[in-house]
Amino acid sequence: MRSVDDDDAKKWRRDVGLDSPFSNTRPAIPRILALLPLGAALTALSICLPSDLRPLAIRSCGIGLGAYLTTVHLVPVISKKIPKSKFGCDLLKRPPRLQIDSKDKTIPESLGLVSGVVFVLALVISDAVEADDIVDAHTLAAATLAIALAILLGFADDILDLEWRYKYALPPLMALPLLAAYNGGTIIRPPTMIRRLLTDTFVGDVSNTILGLFGGSIVPEGLGLVDLGFAYQIYMVLLVVFCTNAVNIYAGVNGLECGQVYVIACSILAMAAVELQNDRSENYTLSIVFLPPFIATTLALLRSNWYPAQVFVGDTFTNYAGMALAVVAILGHFPVMLLLLMAPQLVNFLVSIPQLFKLRPCPRHRLPTYDERTGLLRCSYVNDRMKIVEKDSMNLTLINLVLRIKPMTEPALAATLLVLQALVCAAALFLRFGWAGGIY
């Protein structure tokens, strides 16, 4: 006769999603889903890339493959060396109000350190192999340094649990190598609609006056191109601040941190391949060198972070991954496109503003809540983990808005959010290339 304990264990497995088709305990479906963005990027590379750039792409993918295998091997090895005191509790496998005790599942934190260091080493190899032929070695070195600094400061944050006043100072510090080395232009090309606004209406005169304060202007002969002047440096810092924080606060579900970054990076690689058909500038060749090892190391980390997670990625990962996306967009001159690809993160940031700026109470964790009665995740409320306010209200995140529409298990939620991410990226690429000749 089966014991009550067996039945409980079985019910718990089903409730938290271990039996879900999206769980790593049944890996076929998550693996096929995970290969789709990579497949799309590699297809774009093989169809669109001009023949003289193919050797560069093949070398870069080769370095990526090496980085992938190294990360897959090292993540379990290093995770065993993380001290117990730096383990994190897998919060969505347990009711929120109970004290965390030894029965709870705790797993090693900050394994973004491994994928990050392997990524930096891959970039160093690329830097040595590609030299100055197609990509400027100086630019690649500055990008590598910025990523290395982001890893260092992210890891410091994980280990030292820095207060927010110090955290605010991190992104500008991380952007410093990029600012110091940046010697490209300060001109940006807004989408056609905005360019028309700048050339045909009074908005152009107003913008010109403001830009004049920073030594910039609306380029007279440039049909709405905008020279940001010194404001370009401020814009670079702001993009780094946005990307690092936007990834970090769209988090808390196994696989979501790495998964979102992986989908966005694959989309940028596909975009670069298509662009290189007509535009041979370094803007896009840099993406071809930079992204394959980044995608590879992120995918390797995702294997261990997918539900049920064996490791957490930590702020180390969110910090350097956000930085990497900002770096390719800055050096490739496509910030607006990056924001389109990051629409879910942007929406999550916008709905979070009242809590981020303390206009509404903000608990330490805003991730969803495991509901014991239904066995599903539901949207979380401010008071779920401890009583903070008299009048309770929902935590304002995109994840909670999705759960409000339909509560689901953790792996189903992660898969839903990543499919949403992929659809947004596909729509952004369609907008750029497929619709009425593209928005640019």
Query: What six digits make up the tokens of 137?
Result: 């070695």
> What is the rounded distance in angstroms from the CA atom of residue 328 to the CA atom of residue 364?
31
Query: Could you tell me the smallest distance in angstroms from the CB atom of residue 96 to ligand UD1?
Result: 11
Query: Could you tell me the smallest distance in angstroms from the CB atom of residue 9 to ligand UD1?
Result: 21
Q: Among 23, 70, 245, 248, which residue sits at the site for Mg ion (rule: CB under 5 A)?
A: 248
Q: Answer for the pair 44, 274: CB distance below 8 angstroms, yes or no.
A: yes
Q: Which residues, including other chains, have CB under 8 Å from residue 430's CB and lie 6 or more apart?
A: none
Query: Could you tell me the smallest distance in angstroms from the CB atom of residue 323 to Mg ion?
Result: 14
Query: Could you tell me the smallest distance in angstroms from the CB atom of residue 365 to Mg ion?
Result: 10
361, 362, 368, 370 alpha-carbon torsion, rounded to 10°: -70
* Span of 172-180, 243-251, 279-287, 323-331 interacting with Mg ion by CB under 5 A: 243-251
Q: Decide which of ligand UD1, Mg ion, none touches 325; Cβ closer than 5 to 8 Å per partner kind.
A: none
The residue at minimum Cβ distance from ligand UD1 is: 88
Q: Decide which of ligand UD1, Mg ion, none touches 428; Cβ closer than 5 to 8 Å per partner kind.
A: none
β-strands 369-371, 376-378 pairing: antiparallel
Q: Which is nearer to Mg ion, 15 or 315 (CB)?
A: 315
Q: Decide which of Mg ion, ligand UD1, none touches 249; Cβ closer than 5 to 8 Å per partner kind.
A: ligand UD1
Q: Which is nearer to ligand UD1, 59 or 365 (CB)?
A: 365
Q: Decide which of Mg ion, ligand UD1, none touches 91; Cβ closer than 5 to 8 Å per partner kind.
A: ligand UD1
Q: Which is nearer to ligand UD1, 287 or 397 (CB)?
A: 397
Instruction: Find how far residue 129's CA is from the centre of its chain.
Output: 27
Amino acid type, 159: I
Query: Could you tell me the smallest distance in angstroms from the CB atom of residue 253 to ligand UD1?
Result: 5
Amino acid type, 135: V
Task: Fill in the DSSP letter of residue 431.
Answer: I
Mark 370-393 as b/e (b = at least 16 C-beta within 10 Å).
bbeeebbbbbbbbbbbeeeeeeee
Q: Which is nearer to Mg ion, 248 or 297 (CB)?
A: 248
Between the alpha carbon of residue 238 and those of residues 233, 363, 417, the distances in Å are 9, 25, 26
Query: Could you tell me the smallest distance in angstroms from the CB atom of residue 387 to ligand UD1?
Result: 17
Q: Which is nearer to Mg ion, 26 or 365 (CB)?
A: 365
Q: Which is nearer to Mg ion, 70 or 345 (CB)?
A: 345
Q: Which is nearer to ligand UD1, 248 or 421 (CB)?
A: 248
Q: Decide which of Mg ion, ligand UD1, none touches 90; Cβ closer than 5 to 8 Å per partner kind.
A: ligand UD1
Among the listed residues 363, 147, 396, the one whose alpha carbon sits nearest the alpha carbon of residue 250: 396
Q: Which is nearer to ligand UD1, 68 or 250 (CB)?
A: 250
Between the alpha carbon of residue 415 and those of residues 23, 166, 410, the distances in Å are 9, 34, 9
- The 3 state secondary structure assigned to 109-133 is CCCHHHHHHHHHHHHHHHHHHHCCC
Query: Could you tell me the smallest distance in angstroms from the CB atom of residue 379 to ligand UD1?
Result: 13
Query: Could you tell me the smallest distance in angstroms from the CB atom of residue 88 to ligand UD1?
Result: 2
Q: Among 90, 315, 371, 384, which residue sits at the site for Mg ion (rule: CB under 5 A)?
A: 315
Residues lying near ligand UD1 in the complex (CB under 6 A): 88-92, 109, 248-249, 251-254, 309, 312, 315, 365-367
Q: Which residues, including other chains, have CB under 8 Å from residue 369's CB and lie 6 or more apart?
A: 96, 377, 378, 379, 380, 381, 384
